[in-house]
Structure 1
Amino acid sequence: MSFFPRPWLATLGFALILPAAASAQQVAAPAAAPAPVQWTHLDPLKDRTMGISTQRAYDELLKNRIPTAVVVAVIDSGVDTAHVDLKRVLWTNPREIPGNGKDDDGNGYVDDIHGWSFLGGKDGRNVDVDTYEETRLVAKLKPLYEGKSRTSVPAAKREEYDLYQRVKKDYDKKVAEETKQLQELGPMGEQLQSITSQLKQVLGVERLDTAVLRKPPVSNPQLLALTSQLYGSLLASGQPDMESVVKQIQQAATEGKKHLDYSLNLQYNPRTIVGDDEDNTKDRNYGNNDVTGPDALHGTHVAGIIAADRQNNIGVQGVAGAPVQIMAVRAVPNGDEHDKDVANAIRYATDNGAAIINMSFGKYYSPHREAVDEAIRYAGSKGVLLVHAAGNESNNIDEVTHYPAPVAPKATAAYPNFLTVGASASTNDEHLAADFSNYGKRVEVFAPGVGIYSTLPGSTYGNESGTSMAAPTVAGMAAVLKSYFPSLSAVELKRILMASAQPVHTKVLKPGAKKPVDFSTLSSTGGVVNLYRAVELATQAQAGSAAKGGAAAGK
């Protein structure tokens, strides 16, 4: 999988070349001021920003209620357990003695203090970059079917032959896309860095942020045209300054090279680090206790969205406050996750007390889907809600399945404990639906996922965009509801979260198509989740249950 979409690539491209001649008429006036740093928490009515009304819910509805402890598992790339805004909210296994090299609680995992990694070896090594599922399938099937016609293959093998033809086409497409993108990213990063440095010198500023670009201290038409374009690009990307964009482009180039060198390399097999049989989905006792791993950027950002410390007056605030805790389960490499690891991560989180599991990952092939489906059902039997990112490819997932799938094979209704989330932006206009977000009736709700400011490794912070950011927003909401209304089941949590997303009929640009559609048509609820409304609904549900209980007692 690619963790983050890159919506800024298209928006920045036109701004990379300083125009030779620009008239004052070419200067585009900014449509609006930049969104506040943590716009997610704002209220659509009071703040005119499409947030989830976090602060309003706490201030008006929850202030006299007492929360209870809830554990949210983050199945991801890893979490920086030393982060100043996360270390106080980490789940700690109460039955495990740190560092004694023993499985004190007998759960099959040694020294699993804050969670477990299914991407590590017993010798302490860890998988960083892994292959895509398309790469693994092509490597497996190519020796069997390359150069053969369908009629030459035994009838019993033709379904697998057809799979190879599909996956080979997708693999070749990925190679072409990654190659082209890498060729673009290098020059783009260099050119943008040069322009940023020159502009900072001309404008006499140390940082090229939205405030400077919105009202630059110049009258030169060429410079005004360029700064206006860059300002618009920042708004579209959700980044605070051009320095952050340059850094992200450089990181993307590094990531792209890794994908070509490793993720798309048919001979590369990092699974030897783990030392297991990846096709044996019944095997559960492998990995190590390094829940941070070699690259915890994605998981750390996700964890902060859910429950970054709301009481320490540092950095950012998560959606959920204490005593909500984060359990780190590492199962998502830079590349595609293995079905076996996903299934085991769900089971580990469920067996060790998680009430909610966030899953900000996905792919389009799932060779061991049955293992993941069994784990989803297992979590459901234990009352655990799974919140899943819809994906970042602008696809209609009613037409192309994005795994883990929200619907079981041959079923028509979604899993009752599985909620799929698309990404929305801060403004209620044509850009409300994130351009990269997957959509369709199998997407149940939308949530903030553009320019989301959260925790990053090394006790730092930054903006990221993706359905990977939208899912933890909803997982955080679920944690708030479960914390203040502990009797709510996973099914009830899903129902309330969906009901909180009231239909929005704004005409928006359809993701990937640029044609106007009604926002309400892009998901089954047609709306953006709202914590204030969800707490109202939970309060009503609690009152209804109390009334029924009283009536039953009086009979």
Structure 2
Amino acid sequence: MPFGITKKEKHNGKDNDKNGYIGDVLGWNFLGTSDGSFNMQSAGTEEFREFKRLYPKYKNYPVDSTSIANASPEYIYYLKMKAGARIDTYLKFTEYLKRQAQAYEELSERAKSAYPGKDSLRVIDIMNIDANDSLFNISVQLIAIDLMKGSKDRLWQTLVDEHFVKLNQAQTRIRSIENDKDKRLLMGDDLHDATDRFYGNHNVMCDDFFHGTFVAGVIAAQHNPKNKMTGIYPSAKIMTIRAIPQGDEYDKDIASAIHYAVDNGAKVINMSFGKRTSPDANMAEEAIRYAAKHDVLLVMASGNNGVNCDKITYYPQGLDETGKRIGNLIRVGASDIEGNPGQISNYGKNSIDLFAPGIDITSLDSQNAYTTSSGTSIAAPVVAGIAAIIRDYFPKLSSEQVKDILIKSVTPMNYKPVKIPGSNKKENVTYDSLCISGGIVNALNAVKMAQQLSSKKNK
């Protein structure tokens, strides 16, 4: 299957295959500097990044009804991003951590008086201090949950140190709002120019690569007789592209990654990511249309917010120039072993195409082992693996035909009343209100339908 990097590339510091990416034997990392000195790992949510970008401009802006009523669209957007990033909640949480820190300091002083000269105080020692004044009682109440968690024989100083680490992290994050620049700028590209795609480095194994390893295993893990875990299509070739940090992805990197995959021969692209805010959504949408023009199928996770994507926008959307859903993007919800929709899964009668197994799935661990995980990010590669089978065995079928086959060949689930994902409502619904196909992906049915359609095309 033509799904991988050209064999001409080598680790010799040259762009042997002339594709603009030096040393991309295994794939490409769009989150690293060209010299490899920095590789981005954590990026936060898009709401936080947008709030942080606009904070210097609006930090002293009056927040009152008159100001808001006469505010610019940008300021309204800023307030929306501030709310989405839950900045006020985090500020209150940090203040609470400060109060707890004062409680830890007070109890440490009490311990010195209660146990003079005693080293290695334990949590139980603090709890046994004989005191009943208001300051002592308030201090104990403030950290009661910490005291009750874990063994009472834990060292008190360990508990104190752990708390101050949390406090320092929180204070650092708050200071970073105004003082720290977005580390994504270190890549050296123009973050708002989609055509500036030749940045990054070839090190695709530079962080906690659990997620990518797990997803790749769902698609193409080789048979293991010990635990009988096998990927959907072990013959598939995996192109590794690093474009998703911990937190929300950058629109520019998604666009670059899709262009890279298409230009280097991918026929199916798994997209186990997504977000609620997309300041440069047009970049990713253009890249999806670029993939469509080159007959590449994109398989996208619906998201793990338990929300209705018909009502709440989840990016990228996969729209053509007229605003209609494009024919080469298929969006996937997650189902469990009983055929129920996962309660974390997003859904949508008009926006999600089908469901696939995504709850308690076993695959590869980054530590050379096996583990279990759940989510629509796991359901998407199930569908991507089936799509890879069809595209390999029936190469004359277009990406849109493969999408159509996957939707029409599902196991119909409308006979089964199910609970709406993310909902506390007691009433049940059927699958046709959760996705377009009304069912769960069926590999055997899909291959049979592909074979029938391919036979007709060959006559």
TM-score (norm 1): 0.65
Q: Deviations over 1:172-196 (max 9, x none)?
A: 179559969x99xx999998977xx
- Tell whether the 8 Å contact from 1:388 to 1:471 is kept in structure 2 after alignment: yes
Alpha-carbon separation, structure 2, partners of 1:344 and 1:303: 20
- 1:464 is matched with which residue? 373
Structure 2 CA distance for partners of 1:283 and 1:308, relative to 1, 3 Å = same
Q: Does 1:294 align with 2:203?
A: no
- 1:199 is matched with which residue? none
Partner AA of 2:366 in structure 1:
P
* Cα drift, residue 265 of structure 1: 5.0
Residue among 7, 12, 15 paired with 1:103: 15
Q: Does 1:483 align with 2:392?
A: yes
- Tell whether the 8 Å contact from 1:175 to 1:260 is kept in structure 2 after alignment: no
* Cα drift, residue 165 of structure 1: 2.2
SS state of the match for residue 463, structure 1? strand
- Tell whether the 8 Å contact from 1:129 to 1:263 is kept in structure 2 after alignment: no
Structure 2 CA distance for partners of 1:100 and 1:164, relative to 1, 3 Å = same
- 1:393 is matched with which residue? 305
- Tell whether the 8 Å contact from 1:135 to 1:263 is kept in structure 2 after alignment: no
Q: Does 1:132 align with 2:55?
A: no
Alpha-carbon separation, structure 2, partners of 1:190 and 1:300: 38
SS state of the match for residue 316, structure 2? coil
Q: Deviations over 1:42-87 (max 9, x none)?
A: xxxxxxxxxxxxxxxxxxxxxxxxxxx241xxxxxxxxxxxxxxxx
Structure 2 CA distance for partners of 1:289 and 1:474, relative to 1, 3 Å = same
Structure 2 CA distance for partners of 1:105 and 1:164, relative to 1, 3 Å = same
Alpha-carbon separation, structure 2, partners of 1:528 and 1:442: 15
Partner AA of 1:133 in structure 2:
E
* Cα drift, residue 258 of structure 1: 7.9
Q: Does 1:423 align with 2:331?
A: no
Runs (5+) with no aligned partner, structure 1: 1-68, 72-90, 195-253, 548-555
Residue among 509, 519, 526 paired with 2:431: 519
- Tell whether the 8 Å contact from 1:302 to 1:472 is kept in structure 2 after alignment: yes
Structure 2 CA distance for partners of 1:104 and 1:315, relative to 1, 3 Å = farther
Structure 2 CA distance for partners of 1:272 and 1:371, relative to 1, 3 Å = closer
- Tell whether the 8 Å contact from 1:445 to 1:527 is kept in structure 2 after alignment: yes
Alpha-carbon separation, structure 1, partners of 2:224 and 2:198: 37
Instruction: Give the number of the structure with larger relative contact order, counting CA–CA contacts within 8 Å between residues 6 or more apart.
Output: 1
Alpha-carbon separation, structure 2, partners of 1:332 and 1:481: 27
* Cα drift, residue 447 of structure 1: 0.5
Structure 2 CA distance for partners of 1:414 and 1:136, relative to 1, 3 Å = same
Q: Which moved more, 1:489-498 or 1:138-147?
A: 138-147
Alpha-carbon separation, structure 1, partners of 2:14 and 2:297: 31
Structure 2 CA distance for partners of 1:165 and 1:481, relative to 1, 3 Å = same
- Tell whether the 8 Å contact from 2:409 to 2:445 is kept in structure 1 after alignment: yes
Q: Does 1:161 align with 2:75?
A: yes
* Cα drift, residue 394 of structure 1: 0.6
TM-score (norm 2): 0.77
- 2:105 is matched with which residue? none
Alpha-carbon separation, structure 2, partners of 1:466 and 1:259: 28
Alpha-carbon separation, structure 2, partners of 1:141 and 1:150: 20
Alpha-carbon separation, structure 2, partners of 1:320 and 1:442: 27
Q: Deviations over 1:303-361 (max 9, x none)?
A: 00011123887873110121x20000000001111110000000000000000000101
Q: Does 1:504 align with 2:413?
A: yes
Alignment of 1:150-549 (within 5 A): 158-172=72-86, 176=90, 266=177, 267-268=179-180, 269-310=182-223, 316-322=229-235, 324-408=236-320, 411=323, 413-428=324-339, 432-440=340-348, 441-505=350-414, 506-515=416-425, 516-547=428-459
Structure 2 CA distance for partners of 1:399 and 1:189, relative to 1, 3 Å = farther
- Tell whether the 8 Å contact from 1:331 to 1:342 is kept in structure 2 after alignment: yes
Alpha-carbon separation, structure 1, partners of 2:170 and 2:394: 44
Runs (5+) with no aligned partner, structure 2: 98-142, 152-164
Structure 2 CA distance for partners of 1:417 and 1:175, relative to 1, 3 Å = farther
CA RMSD of aligned residues (A): 3.4
* Cα drift, residue 171 of structure 1: 1.1
Q: Deviations over 1:250-297 (max 9, x none)?
A: xxxx99x98996699524422244233323332111100011221101
